[in-house]
């Protein structure tokens, strides 16, 4: 199965055919994982360039590559490396793209992924560009919704927290726009509302959405997607302190209800630990879904699926 693109920088570039194929191959990768892995990508090298901290994204990409028999070269804390030293992203891509067969990059600047993809000699994947996009997180979120709810159409999803700077909710909103009869409740402080680029997309597509500051109004959803207030995007730290724990989801909000609780993680207190033992708590399963999803994507972009 092939994809309609060579580089993945944004969920806006995905078609329904792409997501159908990615979700299907992710399911097949669960069987590969069950067997402990395969050698599908034995002759391939992934370069992982992280200019910003990452645990889940980096480790799940590395795990995915290893499970398919591939190799990984990683550069973290890039601002301290000799490659960086003021080098342009274009030059870095031109160098690293001559070492590796595929590149994943996380970078603090919005738009950096498009710059990288425009010159990369090998397939390029955006692992998060500042407050912009995080397409592989959105794909694993989509895969999680499908697994947890057994459907993606006709879902009411409540997104909570830092909808302004949280790139995962931007990417996921665009991706869910490929499906039918979705409804969004957007819960955030007024300082951290969903950007216009997303709300205008909802309007264009005729997608129903409600914006509120009240968490209680979002509790009749099928999925509640909690997010962390993105401390690193605040110039004024006192503003961050004031907004950081405006919404905390507790067991009493979801216990006994048919609501799936998701979070891209890390959580910094937004979900109380008393939610963890409940069947509603899907966030650790969600993190684990990143492995088969990224296995699928790596194999497909490398023309091996
Ligand atoms: C997210 C990110 O980096 O945008 N984390 C992740 O990739 N799982 C969410 C976050 O950092 O809040």
Cα–Cα distance for residue pair 35/50, rounded to 1 Å: 30
Cα–Cα distance for residue pair 28/219, rounded to 1 Å: 34
Say yes or no: CB of residue 170 within 6 Å of ligand 1.
no
Ligand 1, residues 141, 225, 264, 290: which to mutate, most atoms within 8 A of Cβ? 264
pLDDT band at 257 (very low <50, low <70, confident <90, very high): very high
Residues 155 and 209: beta-carbon distance below 8 Å: no
Q: What single-letter DSSP state applies at residue 297?
A: H
Please classify residue 30 by burial: count the beta carbons closer than 10 Å to its beta carbon, then call 0-12 exposed, 13-18 middle and 19+ buried.
middle
Cα–Cα distance for residue pair 140/115, rounded to 1 Å: 24
pLDDT at 82 over 70: no
Task: Give the pLDDT of residue 25.
Answer: 98
Q: Which two tokens stand for residue 95?
A: 């160098």
Domains along the chain with CATH numbers:
11-133+290-301 (3.40.50.1370), 135-287 (3.40.50.1370)
Task: Give the pLDDT of residue 220.
Answer: 96
Helix (H) / strand (E) element for 211: namely strand 208-212
pLDDT band at 80 (very low <50, low <70, confident <90, very high): low
Task: Give the pLDDT of residue 83.
Answer: 62
Cα 244 to ligand 1 centroid, rounded to whole Å:
15
Cα 13 to ligand 1 centroid, rounded to whole Å:
21
Q: Tell me which residue of 55, 108, 105, 122 sits closest to 290, measured CA to CA.
A: 55
Which one is catalytic: 7, 58, 67, 106?
106
Task: Give the pLDDT of residue 1.
Answer: 73
Terminal-residue alpha carbon distance, the chain: 6
Q: Tell me which residue of 230, 241, 228, 234 sits closest to 271, measured CA to CA.
A: 228
pLDDT band at 243 (very low <50, low <70, confident <90, very high): very high
Say yes or no: CB of residue 264 within 6 Å of ligand 1.
yes
pTM for this model (two decimals): 0.96
Ligand 1, residues 227, 265, 268, 285: which to mutate, most atoms within 8 A of Cβ? 265
- Residue nearest atom 6 of ligand 1, based on CA coordinates: 264
Report residue 212: phi and psi, to 5°. -150, 160
Structure confidence by residue, pLDDT tens digits, 91-121: 999 999 999 999 999 999 999 999 999 999 9
Which DSSP string do the residues of 215-252 spell out, in sequence order?
GGGGTTSSEEEE----GGG-S-HHHHHHHTTS--B-HH
Which one is catalytic: 85, 98, 150, 237?
85
Range with the poorest average pLDDT among 83-92, 111-120, 126-135, 213-222: 83-92
Cα–Cα distance for residue pair 64/295, rounded to 1 Å: 5
Residues 157 and 187: beta-carbon distance below 8 Å: no
Cα 76 to ligand 1 centroid, rounded to whole Å:
16
Tell me the average pLDDT across 163-182: 98
Say yes or no: CB of residue 265 within 6 Å of ligand 1.
yes
- Residue nearest atom 12 of ligand 1, based on CA coordinates: 228
Helix (H) / strand (E) element for 138: namely helix 135-149
Cα–Cα distance for residue pair 89/218, rounded to 1 Å: 41
Q: Let me know if 228 is a catalytic residue.
A: no
Tell me the average pLDDT across 240-261: 96
- Residue nearest atom 8 of ligand 1, based on CA coordinates: 264
- Residue nearest atom 1 of ligand 1, based on CA coordinates: 264
pLDDT at 85 over 90: no
Q: Let me know if 164 is a catalytic residue.
A: no
Q: Let me know if 255 is a catalytic residue.
A: no
Cα 296 to ligand 1 centroid, rounded to whole Å:
20
Q: Which two tokens stand for residue 55?
A: 């645990």
Say yes or no: CB of residue 60 within 6 Å of ligand 1.
no
Residues 198 and 204: beta-carbon distance below 8 Å: no
Task: Give the pLDDT of residue 86.
Answer: 82
Helix (H) / strand (E) element for 25: namely helix 16-34
Task: Give the pLDDT of residue 2.
Answer: 80
Cα 253 to ligand 1 centroid, rounded to whole Å:
24
Tell me the average pLDDT across 218-233: 97
């Amino acid at each position: 199965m092939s994809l309609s693109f060579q580089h993945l920088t944004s969920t806006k570039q995905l078609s329904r055919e792409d997501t159908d194929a990615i979700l299907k191959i992710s399911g097949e990768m669960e069987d590969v994982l069950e067997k402990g892995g395969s050698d599908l990508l034995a002759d391939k090298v992934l370069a992982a360039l992280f200019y910003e901290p990452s645990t889940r994204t980096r480790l799940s990409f590395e795990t995915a590559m290893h499970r398919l028999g591939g190799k990984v070269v990683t550069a973290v804390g890039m601002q301290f490396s000799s490659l960086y030293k003021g080098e342009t992203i274009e030059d870095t891509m031109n160098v690293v793209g001559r070492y590796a067969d595929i590149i994943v990059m996380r970078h603090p600047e919005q738009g950096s992924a498009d710059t990288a993809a425009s010159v990369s000699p090998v397939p390029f994947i955006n692992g998060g560009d500042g407050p912009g996009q995080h397409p592989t997180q959105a794909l694993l979120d989509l895969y999680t919704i499908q697994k947890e709810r057994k459907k993606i159409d006709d879902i009411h999803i409540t997104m909570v927290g830092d909808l302004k700077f949280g790139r995962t909710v931007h990417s996921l909103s665009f991706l869910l726009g490929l499906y039918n009869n979705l409804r969004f409740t957007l819960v955030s402080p007024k300082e951290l509302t969903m950007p216009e680029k997303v709300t205008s997309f909802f309007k264009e597509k005729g997608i129903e959405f409600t914006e509120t500051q009240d968490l209680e109004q979002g509790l009749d959803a099928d999925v509640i997607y909690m997010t962390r207030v993105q401390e690193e995007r605040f110039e004024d730290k006192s503003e961050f302190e004031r907004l950081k724990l405006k919404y905390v989801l507790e067991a009493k909000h979801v216990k006994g209800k048919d609501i799936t609780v998701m979070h891209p993680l890390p959580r910094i207190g937004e979900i109380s630990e008393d939610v963890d033992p409940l069947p509603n708590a899907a966030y650790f399963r969600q993190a684990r879904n990143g492995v088969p999803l990224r296995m699928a994507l790596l194999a497909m972009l490398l023309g091996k699926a």
